[in-house]
Amino acid sequence: MIYLDNAATTRTAPEVVEAMLPYFSEYYGNPSSIYEIAGKSKEAITRAREQIAQVIGARPEEIYFTAGGTEADNWALVATYEAYASKGNHIITTKIEHHAILHTCEYLEKQRGAKVTYVDVDENGIVKLDDLQKAITPETILISVMTANNEIGTVQPVEEIGRIAREHNILFHTDAVQAFGQIPLNVDDCHIDMLSSSGHKINGPKGIGFLYIRKGVKSRSFIHGGAQERKRRAGTENVPGIVGYGAAAKLAADTMKERTAKEAELRDHLIHRILTEVPHSRLNGDAVKRLPNNCNISFEFIEGESLLIMLDMKGIAASSGSACTSGSLDPSHVLLAIGLPHEIAHGSLRLTLGAETTKEEIDFTVDQIKEIVARLRSMSPLYEDFLKKQGK
Catalytic residues: 324
Smallest CA-to-CA distance from 318 within 274, 352, 278, 277 is with 352
CA dihedral 108→112→115→119, nearest 10 degrees, is: 0
3-state secondary structure of 342: helix
CB 282 within 8 A of CB 341: no
Q: What are phi and psi of 299, to 5 degrees?
A: -115, 125
Smallest CA-to-CA distance from 119 within 79, 142, 92 is with 92
In angstroms, the CA 214 to CA 71 distance is 17
For the chain, how far is it from start to end, CA to CA, in angstroms? 38
In angstroms, the CA 4 to CA 319 distance is 8
User: Which residues have a Cβ under 8 Å from the Cβ of 121 and sit 6 or more positions away?
Assistant: 94, 95, 96, 127, 128, 154, 337, 338
CA distances in angstroms from 125 to 72, 73, 248, 336, 350, listed in the order given: 23, 20, 29, 10, 15
- Strand bridging mode 90-94 / 140-144: parallel
In angstroms, the CA 210 to CA 245 distance is 9
In angstroms, the CA 252 to CA 256 distance is 6
E strand intervals along the chain: 2-3, 63-66, 90-94, 115-119, 140-144, 171-175, 194-198, 209-213, 281-283, 294-299, 316-317, 319-320, 348-352
